[in-house]
């Protein structure tokens, strides 16, 4: 391997950009979908392997502009796993006659996702974030169907508006602190708080929290299933980690941060679950479910500025990893069906037993059923919040548990149709990405202590970088 000094630790990012251009050049010779997806999958898998083998490192490049640590390693993995699943899913989703360009755009956006979480410089975050946003606008419309074009237009308009809020927030942050580095002490408190508020709203659109969620429903429903999987998992996890980096390094904002995200978490999970109950289109139900999941993920911000920091990082990683398998696998499963109406799931147990069992596992994991990684992720996430010992934390966790119970209704409704309703007789084709996601959800749910130990072993390299000013 070429020696790049400190930048050796960015090889997992470089590999993705290299793979993007390899796929693009190969597409000049052949547009064979399987060949191009295989090339993309190999480079994405290489990036994941490099991230796993990166080890407990703590490297600062450019006076903190790029920070590589165990924190980066954990969330590289959480982003790459669903990204790899979505990329492989393109092989069986005929969204375009030119898959080479699509693979190129996909890998470029994935590479920028990794760069966005390696920095504590707001300008660098913004540039990397746009490096993700612009390619995903193209991916959303790539199939050129009416639903995809509509979804992409809505996604682009909201994305442009949120970009404006982010830029405005960054400019006010610079005015208030005289720096673009996170953790800078504000000289003008009011301007600083306004900047933080704008960043909450700007990135909140991308995270699809209530009431900034409207675009996500039509976008997730209208795009092809692999892209829906990608946008609802890797993109959302990246946005959450960027917010985590920003706000956990803003101690002056902690009192307001906890109140704001307590309200956001409660409203988002409640809205997503309540509206999902009435949905008969399973893909649309999964879209509303992803809104609820954003609410669960948002509770981690209540641990800001407390001794529960390390547990919050571990729990966020575990739930993000679970979310990647659960939500990504669920969207990819729909590629085996031409109609997403709940009636089309009737009798699935007889049409393809493995499909029915695997899909049921992912739905139960999304609801937080014991024995799955989704349950373990929620358990540790709520535990990290409860360990702060504040009344607000107890309130948020109680509401979260109630919402988890409510979600069993609409997930259970799909399961009921699959196992206890008679339906069509034709067999549903096998979906190995669904089977893999279900297997990993159960396997890691049972062997969760290995995931916890892996994350805990990396924790010592997190605290010195993320805690304290830069």
**Does the pLDDT of residue 183 top 60, yes or no?**
yes
**Ranges 51-60, 202-211, 293-302: which has the least confidence:** 51-60
Residue 100, token pair as written in the block = 């080479």
Q: What band does 270 get if pLDDT is binned at 50, 70 and 90?
A: very high
Q: What is the pLDDT of residue 466?
A: 39
Please, are residues 336 and 94 in contact by the beta-carbon 8 Å criterion? no
Q: What is the pLDDT of residue 361?
A: 92
Q: What is the pLDDT of residue 14?
A: 87
Q: What is the pLDDT of residue 161?
A: 85
Give mean pLDDT, residues 201-216: 82
What separation in angstroms does the CA of 143 have from each of 83, 90, 169? 19, 11, 34
Give mean pLDDT, residues 301-312: 80
Q: What band does 468 get if pLDDT is binned at 50, 70 and 90?
A: very low
Q: Nearest-CA neighbor of 31 among 97, 102, 127?
A: 97
Q: What is the pLDDT of residue 443?
A: 92
Chain-wide mean pLDDT for the chain?
83
Q: How far apart are CA 141 and CA 334, in angstroms?
A: 19
Q: What is the pLDDT of residue 467?
A: 37
Q: What is the pLDDT of residue 60?
A: 54
Q: What band does 463 get if pLDDT is binned at 50, 70 and 90?
A: very low
Q: What band does 63 get if pLDDT is binned at 50, 70 and 90?
A: low
**Does the pLDDT of residue 5 top 70, yes or no?**
no
pTM, two decimals, is 0.87
**Does the pLDDT of residue 155 top 50, yes or no?**
yes
Q: What is the pLDDT of residue 460?
A: 56
Q: What band does 35 get if pLDDT is binned at 50, 70 and 90?
A: confident
**Does the pLDDT of residue 86 top 70, yes or no?**
yes
Q: What is the pLDDT of residue 303?
A: 83
Ramachandran bin of 3, using left for φ above 0, alpha for ψ from -120 to 50, beta for the remaining angles: beta
Q: Nearest-CA neighbor of 294 among 167, 386, 373, 381?
A: 381
In this structure, the number of other CB atoms found within 10 A of the CB of residue 17 comes to 18
Percentage above 70 pLDDT, the chain: 90
Q: What pLDDT, in 10s, does the model give residues 387-439? A: 888 888 899 899 999 998 998 888 988 899 888 877 677 787 888 888 999 99
**Does the pLDDT of residue 55 top 60, yes or no?**
no
């Amino acid at each position: 391997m070429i020696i790049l000094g400190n930048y050796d630790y960015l090889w997992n990012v470089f590999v993705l950009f290299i793979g993007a251009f390899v796929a693009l050049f190969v597409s000049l010779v052949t547009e064979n979908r399987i060949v191009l997806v295989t090339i993309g999958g190999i480079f994405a898998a290489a990036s994941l392997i490099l991230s796993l083998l990166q080890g407990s490192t703590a490297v600062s490049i450019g006076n903190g502009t790029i920070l590589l640590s165990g924190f980066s390693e954990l969330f590289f993995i959480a982003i790459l796993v669903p990204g790899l699943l979505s990329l492989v899913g393109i092989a069986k989703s005929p969204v375009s006659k030119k898959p080479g360009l699509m693979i190129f755009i996909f890998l470029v956006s994935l590479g920028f996702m990794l760069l966005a979480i390696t920095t504590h410089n707001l300008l660098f975050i913004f540039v990397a974030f746009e490096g993700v946003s612009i390619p995903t606008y193209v991916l959303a419309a790539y199939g050129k169907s009416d639903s995809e074009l509509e979804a992409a237009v809505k996604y682009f308009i909201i994305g442009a508006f949120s970009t404006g809020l982010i830029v405005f927030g960054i400019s006010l942050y610079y005015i208030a602190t005289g720096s673009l580095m996170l953790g800078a002490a504000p000289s003008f408190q009011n301007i600083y708080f306004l900047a933080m508020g704008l960043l909450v709203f700007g990135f909140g659109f991308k995270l699809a929290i209530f009431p900034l969620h409207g675009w996500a429903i039509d976008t997730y429903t209208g795009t092809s299933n692999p892209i829906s999987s990608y946008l609802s998992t890797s993109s959302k996890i990246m946005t959450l980690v960027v917010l985590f980096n920003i706000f956990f390094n803003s101690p002056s904002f902690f009192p307001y941060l906890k109140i704001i995200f307590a309200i956001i978490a409660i409203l988002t999970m409640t809205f997503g679950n309540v509206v999902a109950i009435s949905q008969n289109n399973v893909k649309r139900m999964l879209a509303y479910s992803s809104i609820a999941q954003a609410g669960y993920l948002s509770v981690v911000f209540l641990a800001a500025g407390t001794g529960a920091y390390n547990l919050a990082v571990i729990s966020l990683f575990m739930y993000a990893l679970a979310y990647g398998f659960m939500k990504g696998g669920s969207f990819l499963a729909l590629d085996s069906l031409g109609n997403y109406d709940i009636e089309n799931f009737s009798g699935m147990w007889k049409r393809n037993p493995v499909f029915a069992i695997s899909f049921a596992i992912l739905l139960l994991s999304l609801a937080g059923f014991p024995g799955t990684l989704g349950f373990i992720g929620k358990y540790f996430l709520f535990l990290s919040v409860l360990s702060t010992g504040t009344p607000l934390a107890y309130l948020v966790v109680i509401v979260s548990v109630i919402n988890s119970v409510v979600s069993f209704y609409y997930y259970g409704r799909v399961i009921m149709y699959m196992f206890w309703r008679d339906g069509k007789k034709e067999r549903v084709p096998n979906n190995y990405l669904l089977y893999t996601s279900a297997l990993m959800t159960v396997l890691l749910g049972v062997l969760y202590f290995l995931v916890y130990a892996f994350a805990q072993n990396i924790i010592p390299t997190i605290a010195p970088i993320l805690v304290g000013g830069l």
